Amino acid sequence: MVEILSRVMIGREKRILSLVREYFELEDLVEIKKRLIGTGFIGGKSVGMLLARNILRKDPSFDWSAVMEIHDSFYVGSDIFYSYMVQNGWWKLLMAQKTDEGYFDVARELKQKMLHGVFPDEIKEQFQLMLEYFGQAPIIVRSSSLLEDAFGNAFAGKYESDFCVNQGTPEERYRHFEEAVRKIFASTMNEDALTYRLQRGMAQQDEQMALLVQRVSGSHSDRYFFPGLAGVGLSYNTFVWQKGMDPRAGMLRIVFGLGTRAVNRVENDYPRIVALDAPTVKPYTKPEDIKRFSQHEADVLNLRDNEFQTLQTAELLREDLVAHLNLIVEEDKEAADYLRSVGRDAKQAWIITFEELLSATPFVKTMSKMLKTLEQVYRYPVDIEFTVNFTASGDPRINLLQCRPFQTKGHYSRVELPEKISRSRMLIRQDANFMGGSVYQAISRVIYIDPRAYSGLPLTEKHEIARLTGKLNRRIGKREAMPTVLLGPGRWGTTTPAMGVPVTFSEINNMTAIGEIAYQDGALIPDLSFGTHFFQDMVEMDIFYMAIYPEKEGVVFNVQWIKKQPNILADLMPDDARFAGVVRVCDVRAKDVRLMSDIVTQKMICFLGEAGRP
C-alpha cells in the first residue's frame, strides 16, 4: 500500500521513492491524504520537507523531537494546476507554449492570463475549509512543482512563494490566498524558470505546480509576527573563506526575522555566515567591519496593517519585543558611547551577531548533526531552510521547512596548481574567496566591466549595461565552445545598480566563470551570499565564482593586461559600441589563458600559459 500511495501522491523520481519506501509508514501517507486538496502529486518541496522530518524522527542516536517544532501544513495537489488551465480555456495556449517557437513568446502571454483566472467551485470550497482551519494565523504559500528540489534540479528561487498575513474578514483572507496561488501558478512561465528548464534539458517535461501551504513559524511581538531567526544550511560549505576550514563541516546563513533575507541577495545588508567547524570566525578580518557587515533590516509580518514589511532592526531590537535578545545581539560599543555622551539611552545600540547563540548554546552542534544525518541518508550533500524560536528558558526550537539535494561538482577532487608562474603571466591569483570546486579550464573570452567607468554612469545606462551583458551572454551559445569569464563590479544580480550590475540569471547563465570585483570608491562590494538562490544557481549551472579584492594582501588582479587587449565589443554589438569605455570584450583564444583552482589548498589562479607569455 505504501508503494501504491507513493506513486499516486509522492512522485516518480526513483531515488526519492526509494527513500520514501524506507522512511514512510502507511500512517504518514494517510496523514498526507487527509491534508491534500484536490488530487495529484504533492510536489518536490513538500516531499523534501516531510522526508527530512521522517529521517530525523527515525534517527535513534538523537532525540530530535526535543529540539524541533512540529509542522502544520496542507498540500495543493498538482492536478489542480491543469484544472485551472482547462477551467479558463488556456489548454491550447499551454500546448503552444511547449513548442520551440512559442516557448518564450507564448509564455509571456500565458503568464499575464494566469494572474487573472478563476478556480473550479469544488476547489474554492476546499480552499475555504483550509483557511477556516488556520483562522487568522499567518500562512505561507510555497511552490512545490513536480521537478522542484529533486536530485540535480533544485529550481532555487525560480518559482514564487507568497506570505499571507491572513488578517481581516474571511472574504479578504480568501481573496489574498487566491491571489497567492495565481501568482505561483503564473511563475511557471517566468523567463528565468523557462531558461533553467531549457538549459537542463527539461523543456518538454511535465512541470505541474503543486503547492505547500504552511503555518508561519514565529510569535507575536506587539503588532508584528516573526521567528527568532531563520536561515539556510548546507551540509557542504562550497565557499570556505579561510585556510584550514573543512568544507565538509557545512555552513549556515542566518538572519533575524523571516528567512526571506537568508535565501535572497539583499541590498547593503548582510546575514551572519557560520562555518560549522569554526562558528565564531567571521568572513571579514577587521573589527570595525563587524557593524558594517551585519544585518540592519529585518522582514516581518505586520498583523495590524495586514502586510509583509521590511523594518530597520533598531525598531525591533527591544527586550519587550524580542525574547532572549542576548542570544542575537551584542552591544555596539562605539554607538553606545556616543549616545551616552549626548545624554541618551544606550540600550538601543545593538549589532546582530548571534555570538551568544553560536558560542553558548547547543545550536551549532545540533545543526551540524542535523545536516550530517540528512546527508548520510541522502548519500548526497543537502540544503535546508529552517526557522528557530526560543523557549521560555532560551532553548532553540528548530522548524525544518525544506530539504533538498545540493549539487557540488568538483568539490572532492584535487588539481595541482603550477608553483612557479611569473607575476607578469598572472591575471588573477588569490587564496580562498572562490566557489566551484577544483577546476582546470581553458578560457576563450574575457568580458570586463570597468568598475570606475560603471560607477560614473547614470542609472538608465547601468540598466543598459545589464541588458548588454545579457546579449553577450546569448552570443556565447554553448559554453563548452566559448568558455567565458565575466568580471564586473560589486554584486551580479543585484536589484540596485549602485551595488552592482542588475542582471537576471538568464543573462549570465552561459558564463563559465564569474568574478565580483570590490571597488571601494564606489562602495561596490562583492556579496559573499553563499546559500542564497543566486549561488545555488551558480553551483547547479557549474559556474565558477570568485570574489576579488584587488587591495587585499596576496591578491593579484592584473587589470592592466585586460585593458591592453583589443576590445571586440563593437564587432560583436555594433549598436552598443558607445559602451566600449565601460565594457571590454577580449578574445583570448590565442593567449592560452587557463583558470585553475584547488579546493583542498584553497588556492586559485587564472594565468597565461607558455603560448600566451607576454
Cβ-defined contacts of 310-313 (< 8 Å, 24+): 311/224, 313/256, 313/350, 313/352
Phi then psi for residue 151, to 5 deg, are -65, 115
Helix (H, G, I), strand (E, B) or coil at 582: coil
Which residue type sits at 237?
A: N
Q: How far apart are the first and last CA of the chain?
A: 70
Q: How many CA atoms lie within 13 A of 593 on its CB side?
A: 22
Q: What mean pLDDT comes out for the span 367-372?
A: 97
Residue 522, pLDDT above cutoff 60 = no
Tens digit of each residue's pLDDT (9 = 90 or more) over 463-472 = 999 999 999 9
Q: Residues 276, 375: contact at Cβ < 8 Å?
A: no
Q: Residues 246, 279: contact at Cβ < 8 Å?
A: no
pLDDT for the residue numbered 358: 96
**Is residue 307 within a helix (H) or strand (E), and if so which, with residue range?**
strand 307-312
Residue 548, pLDDT above cutoff 60 = yes
What is the Cα–Cα distance from 306 to 179, expressed in whole angstroms?
A: 15
Least confident span in 50-59, 374-383, 462-471:
374-383
What is the Cα–Cα distance from 260 to 598, expressed in whole angstroms?
A: 33
Percent pLDDT > 90 in the chain is: 57
Buried b (16+ CB within 10 A) or exposed e, 553-587: eeebbbbebbeeeebebeeebeebeebeebbbbbb
Q: What mean pLDDT comes out for the span 396-404?
A: 95
Q: Which of 222-236, 252-266, 519-533 has maximum average pLDDT? A: 222-236
At the top level of CATH, the class of 221-405 is: alpha beta
> Mean pLDDT for the chain?
87
Domain 2-215 has CATH 3.30.1490.20: yes
Q: Residues 454, 569: contact at Cβ < 8 Å?
A: no
Quickly state the pLDDT bin for 531 (edges 50, 70, 90). Answer: very low
Q: Residue 308 CB: number of other CB atoms within 10 A?
A: 16
Tens digit of each residue's pLDDT (9 = 90 or more) over 5-46 = 888 899 888 888 899 999 999 999 999 999 999 999 999 899
**C-alpha cell at position 296:** 540592519
**C-alpha cell at position 582:** 565601460
Query: 605 pairs with which residues across the strands?
Result: 429, 596
pLDDT for the residue numbered 479: 82
**C-alpha cell at position 17:** 521513492
Tens digit of each residue's pLDDT (9 = 90 or more) over 249-290 = 999 999 999 998 877 766 667 888 899 999 988 776 566 677
Tens digit of each residue's pLDDT (9 = 90 or more) over 408-442 = 655 545 577 887 888 889 999 998 888 777 788 89
Domains 2-215 and 221-405 fall in the same CATH topology:
no
Dmax over CA atoms of the chain, in Å, equals: 73
Q: Domain ranges in the chain?
A: 2-215, 221-405, 423-612
What is the Cα–Cα distance from 541 to 196, expressed in whole angstroms?
A: 9
**pTM for this prediction:** 0.79
Q: What are the residues whose beta carbons fall under 8 Å from the beta carbon of 271, sequence distance 6 or more?
A: 231, 253, 254, 255, 261, 262, 295, 529
Which carries the bigger pLDDT value, residue 504 or residue 523?
504
Residue 336, pLDDT above cutoff 80 = no
Q: What mean pLDDT comes out for the span 345-374?
A: 90
